[in-house]
Structure 1
């Protein structure tokens, strides 16, 4: 296939934000059994996804296919191409070379950013720049560090940014206060955490705008998300990579900084001054507690 070829999976990633809740369900079923689920009849595919056949047809139309046979043909072409050009398997023997790992990790970032929808970035920047809305961020067990990275940037640039508690009881206490003017940002990749998905659904029921960061397995939270960002996470290692998600967070943080830089400058400077004052007081307190202190 030519270098301009776009796989069905890549088309799904690009179109995800424009899909309805049921169309996103179809996408998740296909990606979970890719490409086998899409090679079945439209009726069988619809039954797997628990949707109607017309929903499946609307789903493939958003991928650029006018007819279901065209969609199935594209999947078969992918299978044939993979047979002719199987992916290079990671080296398991011989001396270790960090170059192989570096190349794979660079591909994680490149693939993630190549699939990034500029319109989705612009839309989420509009949301994040609106200080009438609170932003509430939640990561999963594995993705909590990336969620924290987003929190760090957002808190520097604007007010009303909160981390949703990891403790379920405390999280419920926070969610009850959220509504139509609030944003809930979730990080959830393959082997989804049910509590993260449930948080997304409850937030959507309360009228919150849900923003999801996920991988190509597409979290179930996508069904209620208004904006979805997909990162490549899978590597030849048993461990997923967070580089793709981190690249997305950095990209959005840079864009938001350009948007809010002048308005956020007094906040950044004041926070810096408060930190210096607090650190100075802490050092003075420690010096006073020292046996040699006054």
Structure 2
């Protein structure tokens, strides 16, 4: 399982920190992780505190000094930017003992047991660490029929956006996917307003356009929900709701199994929130599909 990030540690220490130290924490979180690589003087200036206050807060996090803190942040950043190729090469994945050869740990039942253990633990940790307030707020936003829902993903995560969006379409109106073609996409983004909820999926090797999308929605008064990994997409800085998931897998590819568990939980919550309205919407959809021969 991925260890807790520095951002998690900072949030956890907020309650124990002094008022001055909390100012340092907010500066670090507001521009995470880049603000952590600034000098002590710059961080202190932005927080309006003294340099020793920055050092005291870093010490509260368990680091022996500021260089130690930045070294840990640098290691986390390397993990944050990891690709399937870099993970494949750095872990030695694909050596004979990992290829499922006869008698190796990954052969047959060994691979099944390993996959079962990894996925079970990843889902359990994801659900245990999911912020209850953010989950409830996501359900509230997605079940508010006065709001328009727009979903967008990336290279692989567009599949997650479609999975959630297709479920929502069966339960309520005003759900759409952000178009791929330039003119249509521009028109959809230009229309963003206070009633809009933009749902983004962004995982490590984060995509720059997702930050711009989140900023646009926020500037227009809309709400942003971000599904991401435990290292947190940069879009999280502009989000109303952030729902992180573990990505551990038996291969160098990040797993979306825990994210699917979160999505299923969100869908269940939306169904409960909509109640009979959602039930009637499902019934009307079934009737329409039957009339045109789709079921």
What is the TM-score normalised by the length of structure 1? 0.72
Is 1:68 matched up with 2:84?
Answer: no
Structure 2 residue 148 is matched with structure 1 residue 154: no
Residue 236 of structure 2 corresponds to which residue in structure 1? 222
Equivalent residues of 2:123, 2:258 under 8 A apart:
yes
Equivalent residue number for residue 52 of structure 1? 46
1:233 aligns with 2:247: yes
Q: Aligned partners of 1:255 and 1:193: how far apart in 2?
A: 29
TM-score normalized by the length of structure 2: 0.71
Structure 2: unaligned runs, 5 residues or longer: 15-22, 73-90, 98-103
Name the structure 1 match of 2:278: 264
Q: Which residue of 1 aligns with 2:127?
A: 113
| Preserved CA contact (<8 Å) 1:22 1:223 | no
CA RMSD of aligned residues (A): 3.7
Which of 180, 194, 210 pairs up with 1:196? 210
Asked whether the equivalents of residues 8 and 74 of structure 1 are also in contact (C-alpha less than 8 Å), the reply is no
1:186 matched residue in structure 2: 200
Q: Does 1:101 align with 2:115?
A: yes
1:77-114 CA distance string (max 9 Å, x none)? 9x8xxxxxxxxx89962242121122112222111111
**Are 1:254 and 2:268 an aligned pair?**
yes
How far apart are residue 205 of structure 1 and its match?
1.4
Deviations 1:194-253 (A, max 9, x none): 122211111211111111111122111112111111111244522111112111111111
Runs of 5+ unmatched residues, structure 1: 31-36, 61-65, 80-88, 283-294
CA contact (8 A) 1:151 1:161 kept: yes
Please give the alpha-carbon distance, in whole angstroms, between the structure 2 residues aligned to 1:275 and 1:14. 49
Equivalent position of 2:183 in the other structure: 169
Give the 3 Å change call, closer, same or farther, for CA 21–266 of structure 1 in structure 2.
farther
Q: 1:28 is matched with which residue?
A: 33
Q: Sort the Cα spacing of 1:68 and 1:41 in 2 relative to 1 into closer, same or farther, 3 A.
A: farther
Q: Secondary structure at the match of 1:217?
A: coil
Q: Give the SS at the match of 1:27.
A: coil
* Aligned-pair CA distance for 1:147: 0.9
